[in-house]
Amino acid sequence: MSAPVLEVRDLHVDIPLAHGGLHAVRGVTLSVGTGEAVGLVGESGSGKSLTLRALLGLLPRPARITSGTVLIDGEDVTGLPAKRLHSRLTDTMGMIFQDSLTALNPVMRVGEQIAEAPLRKLGKSRSEARSIAIDLMAQVGIADPERRYRLYPHQLSGGMRQRICIAIALSTQPRLILADEPTTALDVTIQAQVLGVLRRLKQDDQVSVLLVSHDLAVVSQTCSRLYVMYAGKVVESGALLDLVTAPKHPYTFSLLRSVPDPDHRVARLLTIEGQPPDLSHPISGCSFVARCPFAVDVCRQEEPALAVAGRASGTVVRESACRRVDTAEQWTAMISEETVGQR
């Protein structure tokens, strides 16, 4: 993997409540290399979006970071004064939000929204900022950008608005794009086009991407590595192909087996039974134990830490937070048999 443009170490985010608090992000550690696309996947409520927002200081109130370290190009920026920290983060990262309609200013022309950062942050003249905005609109695949520069968000389709959001994220010339469910509510054709834009940015301009999604099909089209989150914690990480073909955590198994196979008819869809744990209360044992078909007594006693599950040339390439990772091949066989039985 290339040198990390971003490293996050042991990030914790809490949300104060009337009676105690909710530990929403619990010790997340991840990295993104230069020119690399990394996926962060998991169910809704697993802490994916909060992790992204924490990196840019955009946590909704009253959520707050309680501990953790963020490094940019190897530099620890967590101790910087607030104004300087914000400037350093926004110089390096751009954000694509989930809902393009609410992310855009409804009473401001889309071209002016793209031009705002070059004008105010990069110190460009109005004509230069306009030229940059039009170039960015063309770069993300918007036809006739000069005409569409003058349109308002409601005059564009959902896919076109999402491209505008990508252009805004690129307007400060970031080296890393944080994308929070960027294809939600888009039809599959438009999804493919938006993901194609992200792939081109990575391949042609060496822009790094951290893509949050609950959809394994989306990340598989874009990312080379995955982090799997459950109950506010990373439970498995590794190369995309390795995780898809030989996952080493039961939650990853469960996500994969719940994806419908278009080549086979089934009697019923396979689901993950039960509910995630309540993070406003202390967790006893593994956070997935109540839903895990492979749990044993030791799983209920202490929550396992993320540990090495694979090496290549002495480098850690797989990690899993499961005490039964050594039996993973047996899980694969069991799930394959179960799937065949439903056909």
Query: Per residue of the chain (343 residues), what is the pLDDT tens digit?
Result: 557 999 999 999 999 988 888 999 999 999 999 999 999 999 888 999 999 999 888 888 899 999 999 999 988 988 788 888 888 888 899 999 888 888 999 999 999 999 999 998 888 999 999 999 999 999 888 999 999 999 999 999 888 998 999 999 999 889 999 999 888 777 888 888 888 888 888 888 889 999 999 888 889 888 999 999 999 999 999 999 999 888 999 999 888 888 776 666 666 677 788 889 999 888 889 999 999 888 889 899 888 999 888 776 667 688 999 988 887 777 666 655 554 444 4
* Torsion region of 68: left, alpha or beta (phi above 0 gives left; psi -120 to 50 gives alpha): left
Q: What pLDDT score was predicted for residue 335?
A: 56
**pTM summary value:** 0.90
DSSP string, 229-246: EETTEEEEEEEHHHHHHS
- For strand 176-180 and strand 20-33, is the pairing parallel, antiparallel, or unpaired? unpaired
Q: Is residue 304 within 8 Å of 233, Cβ to Cβ? A: no
Q: Where are the domains of the chain?
A: 4-223, 246-341
In 188-272, alpha helices (H): 188-205, 216-220, 240-245, 250-257
Residues 110 and 86: their CA atoms lie apart, in Å, by: 24
- By residue count, the chain amounts to 343
Instruction: Quote the tokens at residue 105.
Output: 């200013």
Q: What pLDDT score was predicted for residue 259?
A: 76
Pick the CATH number of 4-223 from 3.90.550.10, 3.50.50.60, 3.40.50.300, 3.30.1330.30: 3.40.50.300
Burial 72-98 (b: 16+ CB within 10 A, else e): beeeeeeeeeeeeeeeebbebbbbbbb
Instruction: Quote the tokens at residue 135.
Output: 């170039």
Q: What pLDDT score was predicted for residue 341?
A: 46
Phi–psi pair at 41, nearest 5 degrees = -120, 160
